[in-house]
Homo-oligomer: A and B are copies of this chain.
């Protein structure tokens, strides 16, 4: 059994507390939040506190606040020599203060309060200073996920960066596609199967081998036509740069 306190009231905190409170191998003691928790947390049957001095003894304290606020909250904790971990992709483990044992418990996913996610499939990246603490984090992670990775802070900052490409920028490309079609009444749903197939190919091909399209084929005639269509849309430069990058990859 691992006992846990969660500190923070955001999306990650909510999804994590949901997963942990439903778990027979875990005792979720408390959720701390400086301000009142949103109504979503009503469905999590656990003590909620707004005063750090009310924190009970726990095996792991999980700080799950915005990346900017992690260190300052860690510094305020009225505990010593406990295992304190954060869930932030971009914060090095060593930025945590020295008064407690340090660790990281980073679920690699995009969370929203309104959309359920299956935690079992979410990769959890764990890191700790001692093998003992790493074991505790592994036990905790494996209780809610089938996909646990030991990842150090150096790797994690690359993962956090790559997640911008695979999630944030990918989503922006979808936005561009929708925007381009708006004027001509093209329903964005028409692209869903293509997008789904783009993803499914990754199960059988590497992204390098899965690449198709005019840039890969160096089909200058089609590229020229596309650039004309992109005049005054604001997206021509992105098309040019992506096309150039794909060309260079396959030169």
List chain A positions with a Cβ less than 8 A from chain B: 67-68, 90, 108-110, 112, 114-115, 117, 121-123, 125, 147, 149, 151, 154-155, 157-178, 180-181, 184-188, 190-208, 210-216, 219, 221-222, 225-226, 229-230, 234-235, 237-239, 241-242, 245-246, 248-249
Contact = CB atoms under 8 A, between A and B. Distances in A.
Contacts of A199: 195-196, 199
Contacts of A176: 162, 165, 245
Contacts of A200: 115
Contacts of A213: 164, 167-168
B178 A212 contact: no
Given A115-B205, A175-B207, A234-B248, 9 more contacts: A68-B221, A109-B194, A117-B197, A162-B191, A165-B173, A165-B180, A167-B195, A168-B213, A172-B242
A245 to B, nearest CB: 6
A214 B215 CA distance: 28
A159 B190 contact: yes
Contact of A157 (B175, B229, B242): B229
A211 B117 CA distance: 17
Contacts of A229: 157-158, 161
B166 A186 contact: no
A177 B170 CA distance: 11
Contact of A155 (B160, B173, B185, B196): B185
B207 A194 contact: no
B162 A180 contact: yes
Nearest to A246: B172
A67 to B, nearest CB: 7
A166 B154 contact: no
Contacts of A238: 169, 241-242, 245
12 contacts: A110-B198, A157-B225, A160-B226, A162-B180, A168-B212, A172-B245, A172-B249, A174-B207, A176-B245, A188-B206, A238-B241, A238-B242
